[in-house]
Structure 1
């Protein structure tokens, strides 16, 4: 009888303490990746553009 009750509980998906807490780690990693890529990307683009402008302005 207890085995049947245990199987029933497992089938119903008994909530545990860990699963009831929301996990925002994935969202944080995505936001941090986008922010760091944008920061590094803009610096790289600005340096490339400024080097092209300096090369063409010396003519």
Structure 2
């Protein structure tokens, strides 16, 4: 995920969930970090699938 869109989503979520100034900042950091971790794990899974080759075996 692009860092710009990750920040926009985290800011929107922090605005909706945060109550005060400090809690909004903490929630922003948590959401931003979680979105980054989700992005990295999905890229790794996609790369693993792309590197596997399928071999068909036909018996006569």
TM-score, reference length from structure 1: 0.49
TM-score, reference length from structure 2: 0.49
Tell me which structure has the larger Cα radius of gyration. Answer: 1
Point out the structure with the larger helix share.
Answer: 1
